[in-house]
Chain A
Amino acid sequence: MNTDDEKISSLYHEADKPAPSKRLDDAILAASRDAVDTPAATKGPFSGSWPAAASIAAVVVITIILVPVLKQQEPQPALTQATSEKSSSLDVPDETGLNAYRSTEVKKKSMDAPSPASAPAMLYEESDFSAYQVMPERSGASSSAVTSPAVGAASPLEKEEMHIESDASDMERSRMQAADSAPFAILTPEMWQVKISRLITEGKIDDAQAEIEKLEKHYPEHIIDPTLLEKLN
């Protein structure tokens, strides 16, 4: 800064120096005292940092909402353990709910089945499920058999059998196909009869006869369809 600038500076500072009024001073000083007096009593631990308070509130709300939902979706530990070993042999994605359902079904069917069949009943769990897994392929084979030109040349018995099958719902048909490959112990009498009918159609009379005997043995109170017996005779 040269001397001319210093002259200007000194000239400026020699000029009048306006200042705020007393009223303005008092107002500002009063505000400064109010600010330090009031906040200590009114402000909480998160005052001045509302983002932190908002974050904590959000976490609490999300926890309250999600925990019950997750608990509902969480499988029963015993069922998971029981099914985890069995499902390991299956080459399908593990779905917890499905495994739990399967485990329940297996236990139920094991209890319903006659005692000699308890071992096969355990096998059913896998074979039944496997049957469901390959169902589209098997179903396709079955339907092609039903709708093939060979149908026209089928015997009346075959037509009757196919009629029974065609009337069954998709689910029932699937279960029949599953039963076809399943051990006998878990077959219902109706499914068993379908199997026997198929054996007769295929000309396996001896096998059909054996199945009739097994059916009578396991379901002594069940009345076998007379038409089946007629076919055997």
Chain B
Amino acid sequence: MDDEISDENLMLSYRNGDADAFEVLYQRHKGPLYRFILRQSGQAFVEELFQDIWLKVINSRMSYQVKATFKTWLYHIARNRIIDHYRRQNLRPVDNDSDRLLFISGAERIQPENQLEAGNQHELLIHAIAELPRDQKEAFLLKEEAGLDIEQIANTTGVSYEAAKSRLRYAFKKLRDQLEFIHEHR
């Protein structure tokens, strides 16, 4: 099917019974969505959550209306499912660790010997992302994986434009500081 067809039209086609339209949508979004979940929930729950979210999309097709972009709608569903997952598991996102890490020195957060174990900057970045506060990590992943702009991030997460912008700015700053610190200690 033509890649130029918008997500919204594909979803409307699927609502009208075109299963191929869904497959195109799925192929477009499966990778970013998978990583969006993986970076937040970890490997143990990613498959379960990923499947649940797509089943939610399938089952909600009849009520789908083009009020926002498909991506905004998809990631809104994903976000709610992840929050629900944490609630059911009686877990808290990485906030606890991140909050704790705010009070310890950067040297303690990522030790030089750990840098060597990490192997390269990519892995260090992924490690640093995992340590971001939940809201900042969510904003970062919505930008980098889903490709949402600040306004779309605000709509998806239900916060103001300024709040979304602030979360994103802090996320980048922390990642930058982390990587600079690592770079200085190499």
- Choose, from A20-28, A137-145, A184-192, A219-227, the stretch at the interface: A20-28
Identity of the chain B residue whose Cβ is nearest the Cβ of A33 in the assembled complex: B19
Q: Indicate if the CB atoms of A28 and B176 lie closer than 8 Å.
A: no
Whether B175 is near chain A, meaning CB under 8 Å from some CB there, is yes
The answer, yes or no, to whether B70 is at the interface (CB within 8 Å) is: no
Distance A25 CA – B17 CA, assembled complex (angstroms)? 19
Contact between chains at B14 and A28 (CB < 8 Å)? no
Within 8 A of A (CB), among B103-133: 121-123, 125-126, 129
Separation in Å of the A167 CB from the closest CB of chain B? 81
Residue numbers in B under 8 Å from A40 (CB-CB): 17
Q: What DSSP secondary structure best describes chain A's contact surface? A: helix
User: Which among A11, A18, A36 is the interface contact of B125 at CB below 8 angstroms?
Assistant: A11
Contacts of A91 in B (CB 8 A): none
Tell me if A85 is interfacial: C-beta within 8 Å of chain B. Answer: no
A217 interfacial by beta-carbon distance below 8 Å = no
Known interface pairs A29-B26, A33-B19. Does A48 touch B62 (Cβ–Cβ under 8 Å)?
A: yes
Q: A4: CB under 8 A from chain B?
A: yes
**Residue A233 is within 8 A (CB to CB) of chain B in the complex:** no
Bin the interface of chain B by size: 20 to 34
Please determine whether A12 and B14 come into contact, CB atoms closer than 8 angstroms.
Answer: no
User: Residues 149-183 of chain B: 1 if any A CB is under 8 Å from the residue's CB, otherwise 0?
Assistant: 00000000000000000000000100110010000
Binds A, one of B49-57, B72-80, B92-100: B49-57
CB distance A8 to B122 under 8 Å? Answer: no
B51 close to A13 (CB less than 8 A): no
Among the listed B19, B47, B51, B125, which residue makes an inter-chain contact with A8, where contact means beta carbons less than 8 Å apart? B125
Shortest distance between the CB of B181 and any CB in chain A (Å): 13
User: Across the interface, do A17 and B59 meet the contact criterion of CB distance under 8 Å?
Assistant: no
Q: Is A16 an interface residue (CB 8 A)?
A: yes
For the complex, give the distance between the alpha carbons of A48 and B17 in Å.
16
* Residues of chain B contacted by A48 (CB below 8 angstroms): 62-63
B84: Cβ under 8 A from any A Cβ = no
Which residue from chain B places its CB closest to the CB of A30 in the assembled complex? B19
Beta-carbon nearest neighbor of A15 in chain B: B122
Q: Given contacts A11-B125, A16-B122, are A32 and B50 in contact (CB under 8 A)?
A: no
Cβ–Cβ < 8 Å partners of A31 in chain B:
54-55, 58
Residues of A within 8 A of B47 (CB): 20-21, 24
**Which listed residue, B59, B122, B126, touches A35 by the CB 8 Å rule?**
B59
Residues of B within 8 A of A21 (CB): 47
Inter-chain CA distance A171–B31, complex, in Å, is: 93
Contact of B23 among A5, A9, A29 (CB under 8 A): A29
* CB-defined A-B contacts under 8 Å, sample of 6: A15-B126, A20-B47, A29-B22, A29-B26, A35-B59, A48-B62
Interface residues of B (CB under 8 A from A): 14, 17-19, 22-23, 26, 30-31, 34-35, 38, 47, 50-51, 54-55, 58-59, 61-63, 121-123, 125-126, 129, 144, 172, 175-176, 179
Given contacts A5-B176, A12-B129, A20-B34, 13 further A-B contacts (CB under 8 A): A8-B175, A8-B176, A8-B179, A15-B122, A18-B35, A18-B38, A25-B26, A28-B26, A29-B22, A31-B58, A32-B54, A35-B59, A40-B17
